[in-house]
Chain A
Amino acid sequence: MNEPLDLQQVRREIEAEVRARRATGEYPPGFERELDALFARFAPPEVSEDFDAALERAEETVALDPVIPTASNSPIFGIVKRVVAKLVGWYHAWLAQELTAFGAVLTNALRLLGKRVSHLEHVTADTARARTTAMLVPATRDDAAWSNLVVERLRACDARVAVVECGEGVLVQSLLDAGVDAYGVEPRAETADAALERGIEVRIDDGAGHLRRVAPASLGAVVLRGVVERAPVGELLQLVDAAAAALRPNGVMLVCSLRDSGWRTGPTVVEADLALGHPLHPDTWCAVLPEQGFVDVSATAAGANAYVVTGTRAAGS
């Protein structure tokens, strides 16, 4: 008689083995990304979201074939098809011509629209390029400023804790050391690799995207870090929405941020120059979070240049 399987335990062991092998360097950093990138090379442009390539593909397929296919396995059907083709050929050719012209007009309009969007992106400071460049800058933060505050606030948390923009994982490690079931989310692959090599569980993803993908009301706490100083206000509101949805009732949100003055000096100065947003004043967070369904919102200074804002997701929200 076989012992009943504990598949949950097996899954945990598999995850632990993956983390341990990453930590020893046995699983090469970047290997999975290389596989993703290689497959993306062969996917159609619509899948890889390359606008120019997608438009080229549309232009290649826009010309309809005016010739009616008449091949058939059956000689009789072949004759029937040829007769039908002869009878309606003029109409088919006219229809193909009209549709081809319509398709050409449409793709031309799309190309013009694409040019206008490109121009708009340039005159609005080329936000995509600035964002891409900013993403290459290592987001250096000294977690010592807020580490104690965060660990003490979450020490009793008995559900999973997501640290959004975990960097190289120092804060996640502090939480793990305190017995908190924490993991990191980090969009910079190279930075995430450094955290993975510590044996920390890290999802290579942007914060809002990840929080939207986790099961609703499943997390015990969300810690926002890094991105809160850099992202425009609109993106921050989306991030807070996603965090609120991912938190279980009475779950805790912590915003760990530098003050604007501290961010524009020292190791974060390049990031500050390239960023589309800026650190909010703690009072702003205290005004925003209650609007998103958080209660008991308060701000605490974390040294001269940083602060932590905490809030609790209302039980009935």
Chain B
Amino acid sequence: VTAIHQFVPTLAPRDAVGTHYLAVQSTLRDAGYRSDIYAYEAKDEFKRLAEPFQSFSGGRPGEDTWLLYHSSVGSPVADFVSSRPEPVMVDYHNITPASFFLRWEPVVAGALSLGRRQLARLAGRARLGLADSAFNASELAEIGYTSTAVVPILLDIDAVDSTAPDAALLARLDAAKARGGADWLFVGRLAPNKAQHDVVKAFAAYRELFDADARLHLVGGSSSHSYLGALTDFVAALGLADAIDITGAVSDGALAGYYASADVFVVCSEHEGFCVPLLEAMHRRVPIVAYAAAAVPETVGEGAILLDGKRPLTVATAVDRVLHDDALRDGLVAAGTKRLSDFAIEASRRKLLDAVATVAGAP
């Protein structure tokens, strides 16, 4: 029997990466591997699904044991895995370059910087580097990973339909829509690399020039207090506090409500390693206008209007075009649905097992 145990910084519900860890575990177990999860911390209802990482003392006698480390931030788990004698695989979900946070949130920048150093240290140990995207795989190759494979995040996109939109929220959003104006949406943690301030600038231009009743919903928790503060003050200074909703973290039902009400999904991120919300927007048939940076073009394929720049007037004009050109909107939605099929969970599971088998062999 071969065992492939996962080592993760944090296992938390309502988190795409957390869901991925569990899907990887079930995929490995279904294929016949033995697989447990060891974490630095496990939260809420996922607490019982992981063991403390320090409790791992080695595989069972006679068992071929591998460690699969998931890299997304600096963590003591990486140093623990580095120190172990078992062969290692790394699944890289991207670590935001510290430069994005250095001037906003130095402590976060330190953790990110540590994460990248740990990732580089593991290059010599890792027999295989898995990556959510070719963009992430190229980053692994740059720091010395000699064997890499692209395995998209294991996300059962159809499962998001199992959560009904929050009825009260949806009623509020529908009432606002009935009064006129388009609904812009961006979903993602408030962070300098996601550049929500550029979405706000584009939205301000759109309100000024095309649709004075439009609304913007920025959904997601915050990764930086100072960035959140600057963004909130910026919105207030623009006089758009009534039109821009900075929601913070929301429930699955509320998220479904925002997607259900959205007319367009607008992305101005400078750095994304994959960007799961793009898949959610494509699944919810929301057309996407995005700045073509990092892994965004790879994730959306032909399912979005990709812009070379993100000057506010250009983004606003692109959004206006999408909202008033039915053929374009329908075409984008159809292309998004087609692109989504490339991330079907069964195909991704197969890719994972094929990649793992190349180094660890059959279970």
Asked if B317 contacts A18 (CB within 8 A), the reply is yes
Asked if B234 contacts A27 (CB within 8 A), the reply is no
B277 at the interface (CB under 8 A from A): no
Query: Using Cβ atoms and an 8 Å threshold, which residues of chain B touch A43?
Result: 104, 230
- A47 and B197 CA atoms in complex are apart in Å by 13
Known A2-B330, A17-B321; contact A47-B104, beta-carbon cutoff 8 A: yes
A21 at the interface (CB under 8 A from B): yes
Asked if B302 contacts A5 (CB within 8 A), the reply is yes
Interface size bracket, B side: 35 or more
Known A7-B302, A11-B305; contact A32-B317, beta-carbon cutoff 8 A: no
Known A14-B317, A14-B318, A21-B317; contact A31-B205, beta-carbon cutoff 8 A: yes
Question: Nearest chain-B residue to A48 (Cβ)?
Answer: B103
Known A5-B332, A15-B314, A44-B103; contact A39-B201, beta-carbon cutoff 8 A: yes
Asked if B197 contacts A39 (CB within 8 A), the reply is yes
Question: Nearest chain-B residue to A204 (Cβ)?
Answer: B311
Contact of A47 among B103, B208, B307, B327 (CB under 8 A): B103
Instruction: Convert B307-349 into 0s and 1s, putting 1 for each residue whose CB lies closer than 8 angstroms to a CB of A.
Output: 1100111100110010000011011101100000000000000
What is the distance, in angstroms, from A197's C-beta to the closest C-beta of chain B?
14
Asked if B331 contacts A5 (CB within 8 A), the reply is yes
Instruction: Convert B220-243 into 0s and 1s, putting 1 for each residue whose CB lies closer than 8 angstroms to a CB of A.
Output: 000000100111011001100000
Known A5-B328, A32-B201; contact A38-B237, beta-carbon cutoff 8 A: yes
Tell me whether chain A's interface is mostly helix, strand or loop, or mixed: helix
A156 at the interface (CB under 8 A from B): no
Instruction: Convert A22-49 into 0s and 1s, putting 1 for each residue whose CB lies closer than 8 angstroms to a CB of B.
Output: 1000110001100110110111101100
Asked if A35 contacts B314 (CB within 8 A), the reply is no
B262 at the interface (CB under 8 A from A): no
Contact of A27 among B103, B209, B238 (CB under 8 A): B209
Query: Using Cβ atoms and an 8 Å threshold, which residues of chain B touch A123?
Result: none
| Chain A stretch 219-257: residues in CB contact (< 8 A) with chain B | none
Contact of B331 among A3, A14, A22 (CB under 8 A): A3
Asked if A44 contacts B226 (CB within 8 A), the reply is yes
B24 at the interface (CB under 8 A from A): no
Known A42-B230, A44-B103; contact A17-B317, beta-carbon cutoff 8 A: yes
Asked if A38 contacts B321 (CB within 8 A), the reply is no
- A46 and B317 CA atoms in complex are apart in Å by 32
A87 at the interface (CB under 8 A from B): no
Query: Using Cβ atoms and an 8 Å threshold, which residues of chain B touch A21?
Result: 313, 317
Question: Nearest chain-B residue to A41 (Cβ)?
Answer: B237
- A31 and B331 CA atoms in complex are apart in Å by 32
B204 at the interface (CB under 8 A from A): yes
Contact of A32 among B103, B313, B332 (CB under 8 A): B313
Asked if B234 contacts A39 (CB within 8 A), the reply is yes
B306 at the interface (CB under 8 A from A): yes
| Chain B stretch 80-121: residues in CB contact (< 8 A) with chain A | 102-104
A125 at the interface (CB under 8 A from B): no
Asked if B312 contacts A32 (CB within 8 A), the reply is yes
- A13 and B307 CA atoms in complex are apart in Å by 12
A10 at the interface (CB under 8 A from B): yes
- A7 and B332 CA atoms in complex are apart in Å by 9
Known A27-B209, A32-B313, A35-B201; contact A46-B103, beta-carbon cutoff 8 A: yes
What is the distance, in angstroms, from A253's C-beta to the closest C-beta of chain B?
24
Query: Using Cβ atoms and an 8 Å threshold, which residues of chain A touch B332?
Result: 5
Query: Using Cβ atoms and an 8 Å threshold, which residues of chain A touch B335?
Result: 5
- A214 and B335 CA atoms in complex are apart in Å by 29
Query: Using Cβ atoms and an 8 Å threshold, which residues of chain A touch B317?
Result: 14, 17-18, 21
- A4 and B331 CA atoms in complex are apart in Å by 7
Query: Using Cβ atoms and an 8 Å threshold, which residues of chain A touch B233?
Result: 42
Question: Nearest chain-A residue to B307 (Cβ)?
Answer: A11
Asked if A2 contacts B307 (CB within 8 A), the reply is no
- A10 and B314 CA atoms in complex are apart in Å by 12
- A43 and B231 CA atoms in complex are apart in Å by 8
What is the distance, in angstroms, from A281's C-beta to the closest C-beta of chain B?
38
Question: Nearest chain-A residue to B315 (Cβ)?
Answer: A14
Contact of B201 among A11, A36, A41, A44 (CB under 8 A): A36
Instruction: Convert B243-277 into 0s and 1s, putting 1 for each residue whose CB lies closer than 8 angstroms to a CB of A.
Output: 00000000000000000000000000000000000
Q: What are 13 of the A-B contact pairs (CB < 8 Å)?
A: A2-B331, A5-B335, A7-B302, A7-B306, A15-B314, A18-B313, A22-B313, A31-B205, A43-B104, A44-B226, A44-B230, A46-B103, A47-B103
Other than the known A14-B321, A27-B313, what 6 A-B pairs have Cβ atoms closer than 8 Å?
A: A11-B308, A31-B208, A32-B201, A42-B233, A44-B226, A44-B230
Question: Which 8 residue pairs are nearest across A and B when measured between Cβ atoms?
Answer: A46-B103, A42-B230, A5-B331, A42-B233, A35-B201, A47-B103, A39-B234, A14-B318
